[in-house]
Chain A
């Protein structure tokens, strides 16, 4: 008996969707076993997650709150991954967006909100974009592998953030917590009443989805991205400026991660602290893949995954489960989906 792995020639859409569904079901099954070990009724647990994430008004709004940054980041990563360029630095780009926005909010608070809010978005976008510039240049000019540089830039961004919140920007009235002062009222993003949804960022995310769809499928730039990602030799042969595409996709993803940072400080926390992002930049990588690198797929994946995060949190409270259970739960869902994703691209046969 031997196992053979072969790349699928043509993936049928129906099969791919079926495989994804089977993946989720297997994950649920595996987790059911874990829940049983912890003396929790799995069906109740699942119902709790579903209810908490999508069926209550509060849960649904919270899902949307998480959806906003995850969607922005994974849309950007989708574009850069399509060009076979590996930006692992969305986390750092988000943090830089958050840092610069904080400076704007705390120092230019005298501006009316219809000026300062666009300015915050703009500066956050530029900050994220700039943070992606350094690895892009290193890649284009010196052929330095972007996986390493973008990742290291995350660590640097985290340190810069810590420097400011522990140092010069620390709120003198904050009982010593490492955090800045609250943003003035006019530097806070408008919120849908009764929720935490900063809808201007949500609208930006939805617009991004549409714009990227058009970009990828209708424009010359999108075409060049597909060619560069599909066969770099063919791109060279066609005379496509590969450096331009690498550069462009990197800064698009950097800028969008920066916007996610604006939303988190300007619409959720109203201040900067070291926990701005619970790793959204990394989760975004996974979501971009789960969504099959296409805008609608990524949007759906981001929404469902946000629900999972919210549902997990709720479960923890409702069933008094330790945080670790939730991590296992989230992790195993991811594991199964990624493992099964393999089956959509390869077929495995048992041979005698």
Chain B
């Protein structure tokens, strides 16, 4: 191997965040031309920080970046783009009300008047070459997450990028979309594009050409997948072995109904019924997994249960109590926890402190207030410190603003908040989204422990592995309808997959 096929290299990159975090410490990383390079590491290990430095969004305190062996001066994304580097962020930065073409033209087209015209033909060409198909006249809000991601990649290719950085590209994708995504990566590789992608999924890392592992801001190693196995990777990431949850013990479930949903009809944002006559029940301590491709009414179902979305028809009971169209606060007070899908948009208030976000669901409870008026922050500190320890949230102090937390740490904070209290029912949408392997494992264990203690869990996820691992019963949702409910033992991946895709199965 000669060093001349190294397209990008960093030397001693260091980035310090006050008061005490070295997000990156003396990082020597390199990327070969035309390789797919996986970046692995715990939540808060500094992956996003390193990538943002490469893209010029952050300036390192120390260290240099070399492109094709020459020292590069990257002070801003614009510099990075001139070196043909592009980064697709975890939270897409597209303008929802503009079309695909307009979004790509934004800031990249040279003509000021009608830039889309110029862009269109070129986009079509790129779409053909890389099989990156989207409706270019659709508005962004009409697209699925997978499609939005394709737009982001199109934009990168349109800008002529040869080094593509993708921050957790697969966390948001359905299994099918994920397969398509890797096909696109292959195509890109064939065209000599070099790719760095951040992931928490070991399988995906093993499919790449090389893997770099970061831990607590330091680069631990860069390895080839064939010289290593998954356990060794985990050990490199977290510094020790962990025992993975592989199966769950079968246990008897009581007959007490905790959640009873009867013929539920709920309107979606676009004025059509997103949930169409859903009927199911959940017993004490039972975990019901709802499988389905995103956008088939799962989110609306969850929101209707917790009172965030009006119910047009049908009823919902929690332990015999009718909660149909009751206020959200009332439903929470009846023992329901809710882990939302959109963590930045719904789950946290980004400008408030970590502790202020932690108390979002409990600040008003008599045990934490004086005369129901004054919040007693000191009474939260114990639970808060326990939660920080239990979930390994990296935060210097409780009064730190949430906006500086890493993606995974924000998700941990939401989980810690929702799970720190005893509940009758937990509704969890993609609970392990964006979490590292160890934390994913810990969260799954916590959910199982909760169910052992009698909490019922409605688990909504596209991750079939997770659904099969945790659920007692599995339901499939397709176009607003529950198209099948199976005991876990009687369910198989193939049937579930077919149902998710809308095939009719006899006897389901």
Interface residues of A (CB under 8 A from B): 2, 4, 9-10, 218-221, 223, 226-227, 230-231, 233-234, 236-241, 349, 351-352
Contacts and interface: CB of A to CB of B under 8 A. Distances in A.
Given A220-B363, A223-B375, A226-B356, A236 B349 contact: no
B348 A351 contact: no
18 contacts: A10-B404, A220-B364, A220-B369, A220-B373, A220-B374, A221-B373, A223-B359, A227-B349, A230-B349, A230-B352, A231-B345, A234-B347, A234-B349, A236-B328, A238-B360, A238-B361, A239-B327, A351-B79
Contacts of B364: 220
A10 B401 contact: yes
B338 A218 contact: no
Contact of A4 (B76, B350, B356): B76
B217 interface: no
B347 to A, nearest CB: 7
B29 interface: no
Contacts of A230: 349-352
Given A10-B401, A234-B346, A239-B361, 14 more contacts: A10-B403, A218-B374, A223-B363, A223-B375, A233-B342, A233-B345, A237-B340, A238-B360, A239-B307, A239-B328, A239-B332, A241-B327, A349-B76, A352-B79
A302 B328 CA distance: 40
Contacts of B78: 2, 4, 351
Contacts of B363: 220, 223
Contact of A220 (B327, B329, B345, B375): B375
Interface in B395-443: 401, 403-404
Contacts of A349: 75-76
A167 to B, nearest CB: 46
A221 to B, nearest CB: 8
B450 to A, nearest CB: 21
B30 to A, nearest CB: 26
B43 to A, nearest CB: 18
Interface residues of B, number: 37
Contacts of A237: 308, 328, 338, 340, 346-347
A218 B76 contact: no
A231 B375 contact: no
Interface in B309-334: 327-332
Contacts of A231: 345-346, 348-350
B192 interface: no
Q: Which 3 A-B pairs have the closest CB atoms?
A: A239-B329, A239-B328, A230-B349
A226 B375 contact: no
A227 B345 contact: no
Contacts of B307: 239
Nearest to B352: A230
B372 interface: yes
A273 to B, nearest CB: 42
A234 B375 contact: no
Contacts of B348: 231, 234
A220 B307 CA distance: 22
A219 B356 CA distance: 12
Contacts of B332: 239
B332 to A, nearest CB: 6
Given A239-B328, A351-B76, A226 B338 contact: no
A129 B372 CA distance: 25
Contacts of B361: 238-239
Contacts of A223: 356, 359, 363, 375
B357 to A, nearest CB: 8
Contacts of B308: 236-237
Interface in B379-407: 401, 403-404
A61 to B, nearest CB: 37
A307 to B, nearest CB: 32
A2 B372 CA distance: 54
A234 B363 CA distance: 14
A269 to B, nearest CB: 38
B360 A234 contact: yes
Contacts of A234: 346-349, 360
Contacts of B404: 9-10
Contacts of A240: 329
Interface string B58-89: 00000000000000000110110000000000
A238 B359 CA distance: 10
Nearest to A350: B76
Contact of B360 (A4, A218, A221, A227): A227
A96 to B, nearest CB: 29
Given A219-B374, A220-B369, A237-B338, A227 B352 contact: yes
Contacts of A236: 308, 328
B87 to A, nearest CB: 15
Contacts of A239: 307, 327-332, 361
Contacts of B331: 239
A4 B328 CA distance: 42
B347 A219 contact: no
Contacts of B352: 226-227, 230
Contacts of B356: 223, 226
A349 to B, nearest CB: 6
Nearest to A234: B349
A241 to B, nearest CB: 8
B326 to A, nearest CB: 10
A221 B375 CA distance: 9
A349 B352 CA distance: 27
Contact of A226 (B76, B345, B349): B349
Contacts of A352: 79
Contacts of B349: 226-227, 230-231, 234
A223 B353 CA distance: 12
A4 B79 CA distance: 12
Given A231-B349, A237-B338, A349-B76, A218 B328 contact: no
Contacts of A241: 327, 329
B7 to A, nearest CB: 23
B183 to A, nearest CB: 35
A253 B381 CA distance: 33
Contacts of A220: 363-364, 369, 372-375
A164 to B, nearest CB: 40
Contacts of A221: 373
Most buried by A among B76, B332, B359: B76
Nearest to B373: A219
Nearest to A240: B329
Contacts of B75: 349, 351
A226 B76 CA distance: 33
A197 B167 CA distance: 61
Most buried by A among B307, B338, B350, B352: B352
